[in-house]
């Protein structure tokens, strides 16, 4: 919140999972949010989910419930900071991963680009037991540092934003 506000975009690619009998494997979801500050936990945020156009109506319904936090689980905390959810946008989400670099295009709204940090021997730079890793229930409460050059522009969100920080991790969730 070094600018007095926090805006970010998160990308989720579901490798496996079932919700209410609906298979979610292969689904892609992006979440963009804006928290006006002055601190992260003041809430009053605005957010939108972007669901890949390849998802079925049933998958979209389940993904919206999970990622808006209405099913409980890790997203319930982040969702609780939002006072307004814009309607989910169904759009094309393309994800490309090559080596340590990940690039995702989310329709006309955003582009996520991150590269894992590694030492000279190629070992990933790990952040363990930090707030975000624990909140998101990542494997071993750890994330890999992956600075980004992401850009987001959605006219219904309070501001256009760019990011420079980023992490990647594997989440293992169970929700009600």
Say whether 166 sits in a helix, a strand or coil: coil
Closest CA to 100 of 89, 115, 110: 115
C-alpha span between 96 and 104 (Å, rounded): 6
Torsion 154-159-160-166 (CA) sign: negative
Long-range contacts of 107-110 (CB under 8 A, 24+ apart): 107/50, 109/30, 109/32, 109/50, 109/152, 109/153, 109/154, 110/9, 110/30, 110/32, 110/50, 110/150, 110/151, 110/152, 110/153, 110/154
What is the tens place of the pLDDT at every residue in 82-104?
A: 999 999 999 999 999 999 999 99
C-alpha span between 74 and 172 (Å, rounded): 10
Q: Considering the entire predicted model, what is its pTM?
A: 0.92
Q: Looking at residue 38, what is its pLDDT? A: 87
Residue with tokens 């991150």: 114
Give the CA distances from residue 169 to residues 114, 132, 175, in Å, rounded to whole numbers and listed in that order: 12, 10, 18
- Position 176 confidence tier, pLDDT thresholds 50, 70, 90: low
What is the tens place of the pLDDT at every residue in 24-40?
A: 999 999 999 999 988 87
What is the tens place of the pLDDT at every residue in 9-28?
A: 999 999 999 999 999 999 99
> Pairing state of beta strands 82-85 and 45-52?
parallel
């Amino acid at each position: 919140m070094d600018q007095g506000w926090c805006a970010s975009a998160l990308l989720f690619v579901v490798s496996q999972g079932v919700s209410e009998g609906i298979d979610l494997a292969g689904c892609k979801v992006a979440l963009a949010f804006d928290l006006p500050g002055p601190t992260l936990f003041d809430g009053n945020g605005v957010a939108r989910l972007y669901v890949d156009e390849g998802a079925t109506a049933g998958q979209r319904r389940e993904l919206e419930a999970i990622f808006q936090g209405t099913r409980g689980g890790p997203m319930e905390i982040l969702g609780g900071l939002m006072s307004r959810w814009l309607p989910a946008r169904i759009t094309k989400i393309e994800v490309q991963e090559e080596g340590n670099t990940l690039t995702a295009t989310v329709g006309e709204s955003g582009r996520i680009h991150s590269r894992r940090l590694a030492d000279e021997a190629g070992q990933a730079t790990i952040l363990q037991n930090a707030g975000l890793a624990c909140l998101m229930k990542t494997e071993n409460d750890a994330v890999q540092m992956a600075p980004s050059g992401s850009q987001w522009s959605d006219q219904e969100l309070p501001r256009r934003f760019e990011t420079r920080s980023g992490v990647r991790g594997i989440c293992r969730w169970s929700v009600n």
